[in-house]
């Protein structure tokens, strides 16, 4: 066996953000290809979108008309 392979870590220190299992180096930060695909699907379907509240643009003349 190659000495470089003997010291190679099998899993990273973190946990999979999808299921909580220990993350695997090959799929880091995920534990498996499945969890990586679940995350990709969430991005592609907009599940990770940040909600935005649209507001009317400020009218600079508004203050002058109210007085």
Q: What is the fold, at CATH topology level, of the domain defined by 9-48?
A: Erythroid Transcription Factor GATA-1; Chain A (3.30.50)
Q: What is the phi/psi pair of residue 6, to 5°?
A: -70, -35
Determine the pLDDT at residue 66. Answer: 60
Determine the pLDDT at residue 57. Answer: 73
Look up residue 21 and give its DSSP letter. S
CA–CA distance, 11 with 29 (Å, rounded to integer): 10
| Token pair 């909600």 in the structure block, residue | 51
As beta bridge partners, residue 15 has: 22
Determine the pLDDT at residue 49. Answer: 84
* 3: confidence class by pLDDT, cuts 50, 70, 90: low
| Token pair 């180096």 in the structure block, residue | 25
Determine the pLDDT at residue 51. Answer: 84
pLDDT tens string 17-53: 999 999 999 999 999 999 999 999 999 998 988 888 8
Determine the pLDDT at residue 30. Answer: 97
């Amino acid at each position: 066996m190659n000495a470089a392979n003997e010291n190679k870590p099998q899993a990273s220190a973190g946990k999979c953000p999808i299921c909580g299992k220990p993350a695997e180096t090959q799929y880091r930060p995920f534990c498996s290809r499945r969890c990586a695909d679940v995350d990709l699907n969430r991005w592609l379907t907009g599940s990770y979108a940040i909600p935005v509240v649209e507001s009317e643009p400020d009218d600079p003349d508004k203050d002058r008309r109210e007085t």
